[in-house]
């Protein structure tokens, strides 16, 4: 699915690191991985230079069907697709077909908001400074990138172009359309011909919504608050494969991402001048941004790469521009399972280790201190208020949504507080409503929740709908629902 929350990364806490002799030449990656990945569902790959030193699969690609993950299992990459989009833009810049300072209006004269398009630059879109609205629609299905852009561009600008930096999936959807217009082909065809093929990525690409085959990892839910080594739990399974787009959601294998990193650093995708700019020049700018790559220094090692995360999805890859090491960790369960394992691998390569944590006085007390546990408790309390307000009158639930909230589902969209109130007013008085949390994640300011909403009449039938939502914290410090998206059929 599209990415619901911003790309997740857990950087090693440098003030708390101690240095020991480098372990990058150490043998025994297999045993070490087995110890680190207890309960992990996914694939981990570790390479040194051109040699893959370890590649191991754990857990199930399809728990219900008993199909296990394998080295050729294809995982949802989440926002790693943004890196492919950015590299495609770099290729077109290299060819002189567009410029970072070109405006969006030059390439998309039919963009719905032409006043904004005249001020938004390609650089703004790449660096999340465009103000283009966040992108999340449950009902897009297999529509074209052009159709997505019409919807995204019709949304109000979040802020004036260049005014600030705020992560935007919508901006990368728009970049995907720019690629189509400049290249004269579809986004998926361009990426296939100019990135996947030259890099040797034979198992990468988009899948159609609802597709199933023996190479796809289906997302599994993990209990909230669980971290690396705890693995997927049985609570709730998000919907199966979703159609991706230029902002995220394509599928690939660990081996293909290793080949992508190799092609990117060895000139297989960009010429020497553009490679140097992408790897070094962009990170020297203020603020440093990269072509949808992030920079991570651990000890004396400098890694770059990207990651993605959403309910049932966590993907990470990093490589050293020198070619010394490449690490890929893909999981079909929620963050931060892959991010945590990646961090542990990078620390071992760099020869650093986190300072030992103080022993927890009790399991309950330790759990209460975890950020996700705190978010879950806060959202549980919010849900209790919402359900109490619903019992008084269903329309009262609208007060727990932001002023610019959107409810998406059933082929319809309700936008703003008035339509949100109208949506809840459709529910007859006396109905019974329950909310159940499967997982929470994201930041304290903008968390996401994977849940189930059950609505029915006392003593009568009920229906249950799985949903993913993004919440936002208001000026009063309280969380409210911002985007509420149905993700599964009614039961």
CATH 3.90.15.10 fits 1-356, yes or no: no
Going by pLDDT thresholds of 50, 70 and 90, the confidence category of residue 366 is very low
Cα 437 to Cα 473: distance, rounded to the nearest angstrom: 18
The predicted pLDDT at position 278 comes to: 95
Q: What is the pLDDT of residues 229-247, one digit of tens each?
A: 333 333 334 444 556 789 9
Going by pLDDT thresholds of 50, 70 and 90, the confidence category of residue 140 is low
365 pLDDT above the threshold of 70: no
The predicted pLDDT at position 156 comes to: 87
Q: With contact defined as beta carbons under 8 Å apart, do 327 and 343 qualify? A: no
The predicted pLDDT at position 386 comes to: 92
The predicted pLDDT at position 267 comes to: 95
The predicted pLDDT at position 211 comes to: 66
Domain boundaries, the chain: 1-356, 366-486
Higher pLDDT: 223 or 267? It is 267
Higher pLDDT: 88 or 427? It is 88
Cα 19 to Cα 21: distance, rounded to the nearest angstrom: 7
Alpha helices (H) in 21-161, listed in sequence order? 29-36, 81-94, 104-107, 114-117, 122-126, 145-154
CA angle 372, 81, 468 (to 5 degrees): 40
The position carrying tokens 């390609």 is: 122
Peptide bond into 287 cis (omega under 30): yes
97 pLDDT above the threshold of 50: yes
Q: How far is CA 395 from the centre of its chain?
A: 32
Q: What is the pLDDT of residues 244-288, one digit of tens each?
A: 789 988 999 999 999 999 999 999 999 999 999 999 999 887 777
Prediction pTM value: 0.72
Higher pLDDT: 93 or 168? It is 93
Count how many Cα atoms sit within 13 Å of the Cα of residue 61 in the half-sphere of its side chain. 21
Q: CA dihedral defined by 366, 367, 370, 375, rounded to 10 degrees?
A: -150
The predicted pLDDT at position 444 comes to: 84
Cα 58 to Cα 39: distance, rounded to the nearest angstrom: 8
Region 366-486: CATH code? 3.10.450.50
The predicted pLDDT at position 17 comes to: 32
Q: Which helix (H) or strand (E) holds 260?
A: helix 254-265
Lowest-confidence segment of 143-157, 334-348, 369-383, 441-455 by average pLDDT: 369-383
Average pLDDT along the chain: 82
Going by pLDDT thresholds of 50, 70 and 90, the confidence category of residue 54 is very high
Q: What DSSP state is assigned to residue 18?
A: E
Query: Is beta strand 75-76 parallel, antiparallel or unpaired with respect to 67-68?
Result: unpaired
Higher pLDDT: 20 or 114? It is 114
Going by pLDDT thresholds of 50, 70 and 90, the confidence category of residue 145 is very high
The predicted pLDDT at position 210 comes to: 62
The predicted pLDDT at position 125 comes to: 96
Long-range contacts of 152-157 (CB under 8 A, 24+ apart): 153/111, 153/112, 153/113, 153/117, 154/112, 154/113, 156/404, 157/113, 157/116, 157/131, 157/132, 157/133
Cα 273 to Cα 282: distance, rounded to the nearest angstrom: 12
Task: Return the CA Rg of the chain.
Answer: 22
Going by pLDDT thresholds of 50, 70 and 90, the confidence category of residue 2 is very low
Q: What is the pLDDT of residues 400-426, one digit of tens each?
A: 999 989 888 766 788 888 899 888 988
Residue 284 burial (CB < 10 Å; 0-12/13-18/19+)?
A: exposed
The predicted pLDDT at position 357 comes to: 39
């Amino acid at each position: 699915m599209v990415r619901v929350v911003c790309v997740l990364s857990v950087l090693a806490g440098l003030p708390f690191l101690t240095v020991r002799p480098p372990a990058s030449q150490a043998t025994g990656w297999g045993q070490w991985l087995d110890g680190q990945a207890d309960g992990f569902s996914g694939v981990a790959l570790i390479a040194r230079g051109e040699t893959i030193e370890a590649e191991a699969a754990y857990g199930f690609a399809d728990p219900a069907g008993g199909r296990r993950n394998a080295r050729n299992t294809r995982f949802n990459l989440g926002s790693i697709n943004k890196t492919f989009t950015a590299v495609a833009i770099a290729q077109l810049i290299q060819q002189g077909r567009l410029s970072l300072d070109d405006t969006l209006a030059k390439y998309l004269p039919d963009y719905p908001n032409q006043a904004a398009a005249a001020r938004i630059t390609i650089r703004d879109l790449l660096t999340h400074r465009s103000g283009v609205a966040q992108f999340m629609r449950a009902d897009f299905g297999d529509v074209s990138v052009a159709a997505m852009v019409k919807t995204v561009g019709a949304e109000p600008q979040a802020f004036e172009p260049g005014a600030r930096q705020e992560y935007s999936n919508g901006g990368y959807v728009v970049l995907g359309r720019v690629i189509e217009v400049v290249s004269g082909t579809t986004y998926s065809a361009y990426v296939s011909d100019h990135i996947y093929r030259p890099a040797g990525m034979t198992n990468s690409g988009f899948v159609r919504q609802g597709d199933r085959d023996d190479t796809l990892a289906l997302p599994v839910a993990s209990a909230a608050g669980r971290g690396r080594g705890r693995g997927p739990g049985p609570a709730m399974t998000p919907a199966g494969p979703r159609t991706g787009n230029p902002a995220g959601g394509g599928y690939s294998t660990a081996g293909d991402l290793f080949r992508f990193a190799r092609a990117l650093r060895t000139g297989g995708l960009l010429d020497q001048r553009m490679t140097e700019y992408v790897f070094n020049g962009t990170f020297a700018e203020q603020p440093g941004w990269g072509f949808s790559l992030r920079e991570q220094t651990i000890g004396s090692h400098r890694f770059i790469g990207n990651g993605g995360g959403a309910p049932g999805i966590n993907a990470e890859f990093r490589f050293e521009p020198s070619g010394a090491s490449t690490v890929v960790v893909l999981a079909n369960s929620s963050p931060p399972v892959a991010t945590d394992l990646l961090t542990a691998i990078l620390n071992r390569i760099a020869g650093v280790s986190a300072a030992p944590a103080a022993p927890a006085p009790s399991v309950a007390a330790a759990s209460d201190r975890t950020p996700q546990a705190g978010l879950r408790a806060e959202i549980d309390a919010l849900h209790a208020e919402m359900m109490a307000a619903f019992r008084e009158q269903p329309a009262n639930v609208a007060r727990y949504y932001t002023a610019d909230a959107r409810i998406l589902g059933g082929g319809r969209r309700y936008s703003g507080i008035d339509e949100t109130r109208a949506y809840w007013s459709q529910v007859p008085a006396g109905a019974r409503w329950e909310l159940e949390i499967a997982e929470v994640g994201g930041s304290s300011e903008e968390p996401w929740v994977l849940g189930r909403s059950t609505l029915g009449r006392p003593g009568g039938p009920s229906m249950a709908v799985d949903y993913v939502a993004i919440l936002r914290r208001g000026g009063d410090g309280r969380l409210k629902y911002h985007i509420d998206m149905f993700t599964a059929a009614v039961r």
